[in-house]
Amino acid sequence: MKRYINPPCIVYFVLMSLLLNSYIIVKELPPALAVVVPLFILLNLLPGTRVKGTKRLRLKICNHGTLMLAIFACSLLPSFVWHTVLAFLTIPDAYMDLVWSMVYCVIASSVVFWNGIICVYCTSTQMGIKWRVIGVLCCMTPILNLIVLTRIIKVTSDEVEFEIKKEQVLGDPALSELCKTKYPLVLVHGVFFRDSKLFNYWGRIPRTLKLHGATIYYGQHQSALPVKESARELASRIKFIVERSGCEKVNIIAHSKGGLDCRYAISEFGLAPYVASLTTVSTPHRGCLFADKLLDTIPQSIKDKVAAAYNVTLTALGDECPDFLAAVNDLTAAACKKRNELLSFPDEIYSQSVGSVMEHPKSGRFPLNLSYRYVKNYDGENDGLVGESSFAWGEKYTLLRCKGKRGISHGDMIDLNRENIRDFDVREFYVDLIRDLRNRGL
């Protein structure tokens, strides 16, 4: 809220408070409408839209919405005080002036509120589903709705402030080649997702890396196939990237099952000459014991129904031949153990792995907050899906933790929810990761 406690914003608060309670002025001096209406419209359109430090429309709209909500909240007390005074002045002789003034104020205040709430609901990433739902549920409960509104303003104002600082860093010419590696990056997604232009699997990470000089490609393989088949697709895709671009090799960063797919492609499908490094993130190299348990416990009829529903849906979204059950079975501890005995990895390719752990069920968003305890029963410390004991692989292993109870989930590692986590900046982590590859001459 610091950004809204400054002279220009205070002027907005004062002017809007006057306009919201100007009924008596307009009644006694009708020509004043020629000033009141245009000024009211301008104050509903301009505040916050000329924010310095960013050219991103989303941030400008979010900043505008936050400021309008702050103006609305700050105008409530002056409006209450004014109408209390007005009650003493008009009752009982001219009580209709009080009534009409209150109606006028409520309608005008509603315009300000809905202007702000629509803007932040449509543009904020940090509100998430949680605060959007809480806002709807509590909107008609006095006092509680003001508490929730204050919280929403805090969340969105912090978001704008954080993102603007991030933009300033990204715009620093001295850092424009920080992630300009010798070989381009290939980002490989995990199971049950597809690379999409509408919703980037890697959240805000690719944009940040590109602004720091990185060249990025994507695996673009299907969402759910056995490791062997995904590996076949990835091998073909990466060879195509290398041959088309003339880059000689690539640095692969693979998340979750994508790490297993890439290891298989390098070992069994001749991809090794095209790869400079492989970094696996949240990959279950030794599988997931909870997956073995689930597959043994759930009746086959239910598994078949879930698989059929998924396969039909993803076929409609572009997959050629998704195989839900085969993909899940390849993530079990038994399947990974058997595969690890088969695969080899060339010494000349730099290899490393990264993992993270949640500290508490509440530290992850749905559904990882629900799966955390179940996974912990079988795999111990985990990120909501993969146990810590399964992450380590390659020449270097990094385990990430957060202070306090927050922790870092499986989804947090790819910025899936676009959430700004205290003590862990996922975008900065990847910048450091790529900078290290650059320093290694890769």
| 336 pLDDT higher than 70 | yes
Per-residue confidence (pLDDT) for residue 369, from 0 to 100: 72
Q: Are residues 63 and 189 in the same domain?
A: no
Q: Are residues 189 and 322 in the same domain?
A: yes
| 401 pLDDT higher than 80 | yes
Packing angle, helices 144-170 and 128-138, rounded to 10: 150
Distance of CA 156 to the CA centre of its chain: 14
Residue-averaged pLDDT of the chain: 89
Question: Can you give the residue range of the structural domain that contains 396?
Answer: 175-439
Q: Which two tokens stand for residue 157?
A: 């104002």
Distances (CA, A) of 282 to 21, 267, 308, 391: 57, 20, 27, 6
| 5 pLDDT higher than 70 | no
Residues 6+ apart with CB under 8 A from 248: 183, 242, 274
**% of the chain surpassing 90 pLDDT:** 52
Q: Are residues 245 and 386 in the same domain?
A: yes
Per-residue confidence (pLDDT) for residue 105, from 0 to 100: 93
Q: Are residues 389 and 427 in the same domain?
A: yes
What is the distance between the alpha carbons of residues 364 and 371, in angstroms, rounded to a whole number? 10
Name which of 102-111, 194-203, 379-388 the model is least confident about: 194-203
Alpha helices in 171-282 (DSSP H): 205-211, 227-245, 257-268
Q: Are residues 185 and 295 in the same domain?
A: yes
Which residue among 149, 169, 189 closes a domain? Answer: 169
CATH number at residue 298: 3.40.50.1820
pLDDT tens-digit profile of 248-288? 999 999 999 999 999 999 999 999 999 999 999 999 999 98
Taking residues 229-240, report their average pLDDT: 95
Taking residues 111-121, report their average pLDDT: 95
For residue 163, list its beta bridge partners.
Answer: none
Q: Are residues 112 and 193 in the same domain?
A: no
* Domain count of the fold of the chain: 2
For residue 397, list its beta bridge partners.
Answer: 353
Say which residue the tokens 């400021």 belong to. Answer: 67
Q: Are 199 and 301 in contact (CB under 8 A)?
A: no
For residue 424, list its beta bridge partners.
Answer: 421
Name which of 68-72, 195-199, 385-389 the model is least confident about: 195-199
Which residue among 150, 169, 188 closes a domain? Answer: 169
Burial 11-46 (b: 16+ CB within 10 A, else e): ebbebbbebbbbbbebeeeeeeeeebeeebeebbee
Q: Are residues 224 and 273 in the same domain?
A: yes
What is the distance between the alpha carbons of residues 237 and 143, in angstroms, rounded to a whole number? 57
Q: Which two tokens stand for residue 14?
A: 């004062």
Q: Are residues 296 and 340 in the same domain?
A: yes
Which residue among 115, 135, 169 closes a domain? Answer: 169
What pLDDT band is residue 116 in, cutting at 50, 70 and 90?
Answer: very high
pLDDT tens-digit profile of 206-233? 999 998 999 999 999 998 899 999 999 9
Name which of 7-21, 141-155, 199-213, 249-263 the model is least confident about: 7-21
Q: Are 426 and 206 in contact (CB under 8 A)?
A: no
Taking residues 388-409, report their average pLDDT: 90
Q: Are 188 and 250 in contact (CB under 8 A)?
A: no
Taking residues 367-374, report their average pLDDT: 77
| 353 pLDDT higher than 70 | yes
Per-residue confidence (pLDDT) for residue 335, from 0 to 100: 93
Q: Are residues 407 and 326 in the same domain?
A: yes
Angle at 254 between CA 248 and CA 256, to 5 degrees: 160
Over the Cα atoms of the chain, what is R_g? Answer: 27
DSSP structure string for 366-404 = TTHHHHHHHHHHHHSSBSSSSBGGGT--SSEEEEE--ST
Q: Which two tokens stand for residue 392?
A: 């380590």
What pLDDT band is residue 7 in, cutting at 50, 70 and 90?
Answer: low
| 358 pLDDT higher than 80 | yes
| 405 pLDDT higher than 90 | no
| 354 pLDDT higher than 70 | yes
Distances (CA, A) of 256 to 196, 317, 355, 359: 17, 21, 10, 19
Say which residue the tokens 């993992």 belong to. Answer: 355
Per-residue confidence (pLDDT) for residue 6, from 0 to 100: 63
Q: Which two tokens stand for residue 387?
A: 């146990």
Per-residue confidence (pLDDT) for residue 366, from 0 to 100: 67
Taking residues 41-69, report their average pLDDT: 86
**% of the chain surpassing 70 pLDDT:** 96
Residues 6+ apart with CB under 8 A from 45: none
Q: Are residues 108 and 64 in the same domain?
A: yes
Q: Are residues 235 and 376 in the same domain?
A: yes
Q: Are residues 338 and 367 in the same domain?
A: yes
| 51 pLDDT higher than 90 | no
Q: Give the residue, 320 or 364, on which the prediction is more confident.
A: 320
Residues 6+ apart with CB under 8 A from 336: 260, 284, 285, 286, 287, 330, 390
